[in-house]
């Protein structure tokens, strides 16, 4: 499992060229216009690449600036297409509902 408390998993991803090139390929892929699963997979792959960076110099993906070439171009349009106050209100309402449901 890839977590902060599992350095061997991160190191395996970081040093295995097959893993990093596959993640890079997924993160740079172009899902269909309304393919939420494809977009979610791209975000996940970009997040993994970001979390295991920096990649070793010998890795084929090391020449790619993960932050500037993958993560930011992928997330910027997603973040600008939503209303943060609206999403915050929706989250607040869901949390309040969940707390209310757990009290009953």
Domain residue limits, the chain: 7-103
Task: Say if residues 9 and 48 touch (Cβ distance below 8 Å).
Answer: no
CB–CB of 47/23 below 8 Å?
no
Backbone angles phi, psi at 82, to 5 degrees: -120, 155
What would the pLDDT profile of 58-103 be if each residue is shown by its tens digit? 555 566 777 888 888 888 887 788 888 888 999 999 999 998 888 7
Tokens standing for 49? Answer: 């690449």
pTM of the model: 0.65
């Amino acid at each position: 499992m890839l977590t902060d408390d599992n350095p061997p998993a991160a190191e395996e991803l970081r040093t295995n060229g097959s893993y990093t090139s596959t993640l890079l390929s997924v993160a740079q892929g172009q899902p269909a216009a309304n393919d939420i699963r494809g977009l979610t997979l791209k975000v996940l792959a970009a997040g993994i690449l970001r979390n295991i960076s920096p990649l070793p110099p010998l890795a084929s993906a090391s020449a790619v600036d993960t932050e500037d070439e993958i993560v930011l171009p992928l997330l910027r349009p997603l973040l600008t297409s939503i209303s943060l106050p609206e999403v915050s209100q929706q989250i607040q309402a869901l949390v309040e509902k969940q707390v209310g449901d757990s009290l009953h």
